[in-house]
Structure 1
């Protein structure tokens, strides 16, 4: 079954091309051409995924991404002509799940959309585990994170990191290992992108983000999720 995809792209020819390829892949596609319309559309009828251009009129893509992320865990694929690593990291910091630079292959875009939808749990599986580590619960089937009794809104990439670490609490993961586990989200990223995800996760699950008790740094290695034995 196809998903409902919203494309926010001010270039009408490019938007039409993306729509055509996504519809050919079985998705229902809506198109808007400015950032304000993208925000309004997401709030009125949340899509399964947002394809978001960085340079939009009225409200630019990064601000759209920030507002959309504040409203939920909608997967966001950012499109941009910017290729500098700092721009990539800024997009990830704002909550984008994947990042493609222009010009790009429409076929690759379709493949990225498929991967994001699959990994975001657009079609929930069955019999998947629930990891409980200290005050943190990671429900893989429901694609849900609970910390100290409160729901935590995570991007698909952030969720995959928590899922991986919660399955083996106490194990130190390198940045490369965590980057590999997010394959399908951050293909254009470097290991520095993991640091951005970790900072964002600490803001969401730590009582004092600058003094993390759960998501700890292992100097010279990477990161680990501290806590008691996991439960399934």
Structure 2
């Protein structure tokens, strides 16, 4: 694999260890010791993934996530010593795709990163690459979503939610099922993170948000008119 990761972390020892593990797996690693430096590097490099610590000088990880999401759907992994549910929910609401708490295994972090990139790239087979639902079309090969022929910019988790519901059209999917498939079986945060991402997805779909039906007390279902 030839992925590129930007590691934004103020502890040099952690950066060194994590960088070693990623490089052993063939990744190109860029480093920054604070949020401001990280954002500056993103302007000059082509990273596939950002791993960012929360508590840093100059600019914290929350601010970094906000700035990245203003202009990019690039995958983000939050790395932090804070494990409260509210903190994790904040991270996901800001557009983070994974939340890893310290202390952690660098080997597991690399595995999470690889798995995230596979999900982002949609490496789930080569069946028909175009899905059409109402006025919404999804090009799986290009990871491109269009509404009435106009492309919309979805964050990775929003795209994965839409894809999973599209593959299960007409089936009611519980919040727990969506958490397991999109966030992974080892996610122990609040199920309401699903609601937050569904709300954002609906906003971006505009009038076609009607395709996503809320099933009270259960979860969501994607309906498509015949």
Normalised by the size of structure 1, how large is the TM-score? Answer: 0.89
- Please say which of residues 43-52 and 123-132 is displaced more in the overlay: 123-132
Could you tell me whether the CA contact under 8 Å between 2:122 and 2:140 is conserved in 1? Answer: no
Structure 1 contact 51–76 (Cα < 8 Å) conserved: yes
User: Distance in 1 between the 2:74 and 2:189 partners?
Assistant: 20
Give 5+ residue unaligned stretches, structure 1: none
Is 1:214 aligned to residue 176 of structure 2? no
1:65–1:6 CA distance, 2 compared to 1 (3 A): same
**Would you say the 8 A contact 1:99–1:188 is kept in 2?**
no
Distance in 2 of aligned mates of 1:112 and 1:70: 24
Answer whether contact 1:5 1:50 (CA < 8 A) is retained.
yes
Change (3 A) 1:41 1:185: farther
Residue 126 (structure 1) shift: 4.1
Q: Partner of 1:170 in structure 2?
A: 170
Shift of 1:106: 0.8
Q: Secondary structure at the match of 1:44?
A: coil
Report how many aligned residue pairs link the two structures. 226
Q: Quick check: 2:122–2:141 contact (8 Å CA) kept in 1?
A: no
Give 1:227's aligned residue: 224
Q: CA RMSD in A?
A: 2.2
User: Runs of at least 4 residues of structure 1 off by over 6 A?
Assistant: 122-125
Q: Which moved more, 1:149-158 or 1:54-63?
A: 149-158
CA distance in 1, matches of 2:186, 2:205: 22
Any conservation in 2 of the 1:8–1:53 contact (CA below 8 Å)?
A: yes
Residue of structure 2 in register with 1:11 after alignment: 11
Q: What residue is the counterpart of 1:199 in the other structure?
A: 199
